[in-house]
Structures are given as structure tokens and as C-alpha cells.
Structure 1
């Protein structure tokens, strides 16, 4: 397999994570040796070891000294609180059929607060995407993404305004179309009510509590590329966390 030189560790990490997710490497199975992976990806052992170290830190795999690395039996637990995950996958993993309803994509005023979070000039244009993810047709995630114009290079800005569906899956869109792969989020969790969500749907009761995640997404240069606000009404979704105690 040929691996591009740019962001080599991230590429290998994505491939190995996907193999764990789709059970190419089942729970408790032994992973190929570092030497085998070096030959497969045509990279150095240091590169493979860095990717494996990240998988260990995430709890996806564990090491047995002198034996090798194995897939954790609880590595399938995924949620947007710990690691970024596509909402379609999150919904599907909980046994529902995912869907998406695009509300709008439009240019919105840039406030001083938004400019500060995105680290952009006051005259920069931004576009807001509003969409609702559904589980078996029921609204379960109300999502707002704000992306600055500099991220939407060339004609992408106008394309997004005309056809917001091109932005999904959002991680693929940022990486492949914008050339700005998401590296990490800084997130804030809070409790609120759906009545305070800017997205209003007909025949949906907004008088219910919601978990809200406010996020700033960064690229590999630690530059903000997207703001997100996600409302999770307390009617369907649930999240599981793996909480590990560090023992020195």
C-alpha cells in the first residue's frame, strides 16, 4: 500500500482505526507486527510505533510485553464527547437508520465573539450550515457549523451556499475539498433546553432538556477552521464513556 508523505502518521492511524472499527481486526485479536506494518505501508518503524502509541492512548489497543499488540474488547465504544465521530456513524452504531435534513447554508454576520474564536479579521465572511440528523426519521442531533471563507477556497464558498449537502460527511469535506483536515476539537459541554436551539422544526417539542456541545475545530497547524454547536435532545441518544484511572 502506498502512503502519501504528508501526515503519514495520521493516515496510518485512520487506516488502522477503520480496520478496528469494521472488525478486520476483531476484539482481542492480535495486530500484525510492527515489521509487517512497516512493509505494508512502506514507512519507518518509528512512524508505525507513533500510530500504535496513539491507539494505545485512546484505549483502542493494548500491549502485552513480549507478545504483541491486541485490539481492546471495549474499543468499539464511540461517542462525540471523547473522540470526533461522524453523526451518521454514531446513530448507526446505536441501531438506528441515520438521515440528514439540511435547513440552510447562508452568510451570517461576524460578531466580535465569533471573530475571536475563529482568529479571523472583522471583515472576513463566514457561512453557517444548519442541519438536523435523524434516527429512524426522528430528529436527534441539531447541528450548526460556522466556517470562515478562507477555509472554503476558490468557488467552494458559493458552492456551499447553493448546495450545502456537499459538506457531508463534514470531516471528508474539510480534508478532501478544503485541504484543511480536522486535527482536534476543543469542546465545552453544558445543559440547556431545546427552546434555546436556533433550529426550529415543525411538530417537534422544544420544551425538553438537551445536552449541548460547543466546539472549536482546529487543523494540523492549530488554526481554527470551524465552530460547531450541537444540541442533543434528551429523547433518543445515549453516550458511553471509558474512564481510565492512571496508576503511577
Structure 2
């Protein structure tokens, strides 16, 4: 244990290492609180604190009357350059992807959308709300904004597949660049309900601006990702970036 490391933090780290190394596999029942107390020679309160944190973070799941089990692995999504659709990224992890439309409406451009989408006030903007799921469990809630003049008449069928692929195939709009801002956010009651997530727990929050090669903004979106179901992979090629 590192100097000044709290006991519950040490236990949490040890259990997490066992999960990530495969000592405890998905679906395995971990030792009881009493067994862990004996193993680590600590109080039940200390063990419970460690287990609670791992449960909140999505590594463990408690089943009333049965014990605590290792949860399914979180959905991994790539933030670095990738041409893979959501369904493809999920499929390689052995999970079934699903995109469900929540709402599709045309709204007048607000002053904020005027700035981010380079449109005029009151221009028609398509506002698309979607839920992404993996194995039937919600992982992401997204609100996307696309100018009507660029892609008129986006349909439910379009929205429930890859939106970028639809923009390219049906409207000849090629996404060449995205800029993403990542934060931690706390979802409101509606977002938490749609994500089947407890209100007050943190989410990853990402705002994305998608552009064509000439700099024209094609789409702006806001996305909430369940913190217990999602993690992100960022890969950088420094030799390529340095031109070496």
C-alpha cells in the first residue's frame, strides 16, 4: 500500500486489478464482505466503501440476496481518428448495438446555433434525439443538430443508423473533421430517465462539431455517456504528427 493511501482505496485498487487481470471474470461472484474483511484485516465499513465505489463505477453489480458480481465490461469507444460506425465498434466487443430515435423535429435556429452552425436566425434546423444501446442497455443519449438546407428531410430510418453514413450516402456530405470537447456532467431528470441511470451520478459529456473538408459545419451534437457503461480510447501517433 502506498504511503498515505486510504485503506478503502487500497482495497478498491486491489480488487480492480483482479478484475482487469481476469482473476475475477465477468459474472464471477466475488468474496463476501466478511471474507474480504478477513483477507485485508479491515473493518466492514472499509470494505463496503471500496465495493460501493466499484459498483458506482460499473465494475461490480450487486444482486439482492445473492452477493456481488463482476459486471460486464464497459463499452469502449474511440475518440481518436476512426471510420468505424458505432455498431462496428460495439460488434468487435461481442455486443449487439442498437440506435433508437427519441425525437425528430425541425426548430428555428437560435442565436447559439447561428454561431456554431454558421446559419441565419430562424433557419430550419433538424434536432435529432437518439439513444444508443449495447446488449439492450442504454449507454449514450445524443442530441444532434443538422441544418435543413444541407440535408433536408432526415427520417427515422436515417436517424436509427449511422448519421454520418446517411449524410454521405444520401446528401453527399463527407465529414472530414470533428472537434470534440469532453467534460464530466450530471444529467438532469429526463436524460437520466432515458439512460436508465440514477440522477445525480456523473456522465461523460461530449460536444462535437463536424465539418466538411472546406470547413463547412455539417452537424453539432451534445452527448451524455453513462459513466458505469462506457470508457474511451485515445490513440496518438507521435511519429506521424511530428512528420517523422
- Class of the TM-score when normalised by the shorter of the 2 chains: 0.5 to 0.7
Q: Which residue of 1 aligns with 2:125?
A: 126
CA distance in 1: counterparts of 2:114 and 2:212, whole angstroms: 17
Q: Distance in 1 between matches of 2:181 and 2:208?
A: 6
Q: Quote the Cα distance in structure 2 between the aligned partners of 1:172 and 1:243.
A: 24
Q: TM-score, normalised by structure 2?
A: 0.60
Matched, 1:192 2:190: no
Q: Is 1:224 matched with 2:200?
A: no
How is 1:143-222 mapped onto 2 (pairs within 5 angstroms)?
143-152=142-151, 156-157=152-153, 160=154, 163-167=155-159, 168-195=161-188, 198=191, 200-201=193-194, 203-222=196-215
Residues 129, 164 of structure 1: 8 Å contact kept: no
Provide the residue aligned with 1:72 in structure 2: none
SS for the counterpart of 2:123 is: coil
Give the 5 Å matches for 1:84-123: 84=82, 85-123=84-122
Cα deviation code 1:169-192 (max 9, x no counterpart): 212211111111111111111111
Higher RCO (CA < 8 A, seq sep 6+): 2
User: Is the CA contact 1:195–1:208 (under 8 Å) kept in the aligned structure 2?
Assistant: no
Corresponding residue SS for 1:194:
coil
How far apart in 1 are the matches of 2:81 and 2:232?
12
What TM-score do you get using the length of structure 1 for normalisation?
Answer: 0.59
Deviations 1:193-244 (A, max 9, x none): 1227757428542332111110110112210010011111112122223345
2:79 match = 81
Shift of residue 94, structure 1, vs aligned partner: 2.7
C-alpha distance in structure 1 between counterparts of 2:195 and 2:231, whole Å: 24
Aligned 8 A contact 2:182 2:206 in 1: yes
Query: Using the alignment, how far apart are the partners of 1:82 and 1:220 within structure 2?
Result: 18
Counterpart position of 2:233:
240
Contact 2:80 2:233 in 1 (8 A): no
- Cα distance, 1:196–1:190 mapped onto 2, change above 3 Å: farther
8 Å CA contact retained: 1:194, 1:233:
no
Q: C-alpha distance in 1, partners of 2:88/2:97?
A: 8
Whole-Å Cα distance in 1 between the matches of residues 194 and 93 of structure 2? 23
Question: Which SS does the other structure have where 1:103 is aligned?
Answer: strand
Q: Which runs of 5+ in 2 are unaligned?
A: 1-75
Query: How far apart, CA to CA, are the structure 2 residues paired with 1:197 and 1:210?
Result: 14
Q: Which has the larger radius of gyration?
A: 2
